[in-house]
Amino acid sequence: MQKQLDKNNFDKEIQSGLKLVEFYAPWCGYCNKQEAVFKELDKIWIGQVNTDDNAEIAIRYGINSFPTFLVFKDGKEMERFSGLRNKFDIMNVVTKYI
């Protein structure tokens, strides 16, 4: 499940449970390729932050490359990783926190 996040819903959405958040830019080729991988991960909650429209969130988390992923558990950042990833890489990171 993918959900667009912005300044109005970001904090509320990450505050409980296990959440994977992708920071992306619409012009980023790797980000666009990542979308195909997300279709294979339809059982995982994936929040997406368009950094062009939500620069303040990207700045708050020190995002400087795309795509960058943050794993949150009950609002606390547990891990981050960057770059185009396959479904197995993503699952290996996320399942560590279940």
How distant, in Å, are the alpha carbons of 7, 27, 40 from that of 34? 23, 13, 10
Predicted confidence (pLDDT) per residue in 32-66, tens digit: 999 999 999 988 999 999 999 999 999 999 999 99
pTM beyond 0.85: the answer is yes
CA distances from 93 to 49, 57, 68, 88 (A): 19, 22, 13, 9
Verify whether residue 82 is a known catalytic residue.
no
Question: In CATH, what number does 2-95 get?
Answer: 3.40.30.10
Annotated catalytic residue 11 = no
- Catalytic-role residue among 14, 20, 21, 31: 31
pLDDT digits over 7-16, tens only?
Answer: 999 999 999 9
* Catalytic pick among 2, 6, 18, 28: 28
* Phi, psi (degrees; rounded to nearest 5) at 73: -130, 115
